[in-house]
Amino acid sequence: MALNGLLDIELSVPNPTELLEFWERRGMVRTADGALGTTDRPVQLRIAEGSYRHMSELHMSCETDQDLADIAARIGEMGVASTIVDTRLTCIDPVFQHRVVIDVTRAHPLTPTQRRAWNHPGEQNRVGTRADATTEATPRPPRRLGHFVLGTPHFVEATAFFVDGLGFKVSDQLLNGLATFGRIEQDHHNLLIQPGPTSYINHYALEMDDIDAIGKAGQAVLAERPDANVVGVGRHFLGSNVFWYLTDPSGTMFEFFSDIDQIIDDEAWERDHCRRDWMGSDGMAPISVWGPPEPETFLNPADLPAIGAARQALGLD
């Protein structure tokens, strides 16, 4: 295995201070250099100033120096130049134009979740006391950045760069490549590439302890930003994760998620579960097994024309 970790992303937005303070109120901690993280992973989100909202850097890890050399060779064959200094590779994504940084380092594990006692049918795991979700003083904070979703009209080229070039593994695909779920960790996906009218970040996703943590954190967002709701709570079909989608102060959608499928045996998943031709019975891609219907803005945010215009003005599309 080459790539082994999604470390952090940088978001460039017109209002960086507002976004930093928003995530601090969600329980993330700001480092001395302005990054946001948690106890387990001090750097997960970095916020920079930009003329429009976009992901400006993707930071990942790999296992060995040879992995860096192999990645450089593969993307070089695609016409993408890269630089390796010590144990770090840098390049520019050929479609989205964000920086890609890959460091040689070990994967960063999380400390186990403090499990809640649940009373399932026929099981009495919590007796004579209230559920702790009812008595917590504050919502539990996010645990880590889990994945991000990119939309682009150049989804074939983008998928080739991430899969054939960088080395993401395909977990599932819709309609033979119309949309691709890729992973570099054990999660079902750390990346989804889907069609879009311009190249943009559709959303980023933060893992929570459980559905109570999702619900309480989402409710706290709505208490200060009543128009932030997009869709949720529900459970996805591909990935199986429980979700709630909202928007941050810069207009970027984010997801609180939990309970995502874990892939340990790559060969077994490819043989028994992975499909390249997913399609729902109605001819549409399966999104959720339960939850409210997704609004149009779930796949096509209202600010896409403005993002497209900004990218064209910079010569990016």
Nearest to 110 by CA among 142, 139, 132: 142
Is residue 293 classed exposed, middle or buried when 0-12, 13-18 and 19+ CB atoms within 10 A define those classes? exposed
pLDDT tens-place string over residues 290-310: 999 999 999 999 999 999 999
**Residue 98: beta bridge partners?**
none
Instruction: List, in sequence order, every beta strand (DSSP E) within the chain.
Output: 3-13, 29-30, 36-37, 45-49, 54-62, 82-85, 88-92, 99-104, 144-152, 169-174, 179-183, 191-195, 200-207, 229-236, 242-247, 253-258, 288-290
pLDDT of the chain, 317 residues: tens digit per residue: 589 999 999 999 999 999 999 999 999 999 988 899 998 899 999 999 999 999 999 999 999 999 999 999 999 999 999 999 999 999 999 999 999 999 999 888 888 887 899 999 999 999 999 999 999 888 999 999 999 999 999 999 999 999 999 999 999 999 889 999 999 999 999 999 999 999 999 999 999 999 999 999 999 999 999 999 999 999 999 999 999 999 999 999 999 999 999 999 999 999 999 999 998 655 566 799 999 999 999 999 999 999 999 999 999 97
Question: Is beta strand 253-258 parallel, antiparallel or unpaired with respect to 200-207?
Answer: parallel
- Please tell me the number of Cα atoms within 13 Å of 202 on its side-chain side: 23
Q: What is the dihedral of CA 108, 236, 265, 160, to 10 degrees?
A: -80
Number of domains in the chain: 1
Residue 128 in domain: no
CATH number at residue 92: 3.10.180.10
C-alpha radius of gyration, the chain, whole number: 20
Other beta carbons within 10 angstroms of residue 267's beta carbon come to 7
Residue 97 in domain: yes
Residue 307 in domain: no
Yes or no: say if 201 and 252 are a contact pair by the CB < 8 Å rule. Answer: yes
Residue 311 in domain: no
Residue type, 225: R
Which residues are CB-contacts of 123 (< 8 A; sequence separation ≥ 6)?
Answer: none
Residue 10 in domain: yes
Residue 117 in domain: no
CA–CA distance, 223 with 215 (Å, rounded to integer): 12
Residue 313 in domain: no
Residue 122 in domain: no
Domain that holds residue 201: 3-109+141-301
Nearest to 158 by CA among 97, 77, 240, 108: 97
Question: Is beta strand 36-37 parallel, antiparallel or unpaired with respect to 82-85?
Answer: unpaired
Ramachandran angles phi, psi of 187, nearest 5°:
-60, 150
- b (16+ CB within 10 A) / e for 7-25: bbbbbbbebbeebbebbee
**Residue 103: beta bridge partners?**
61, 88
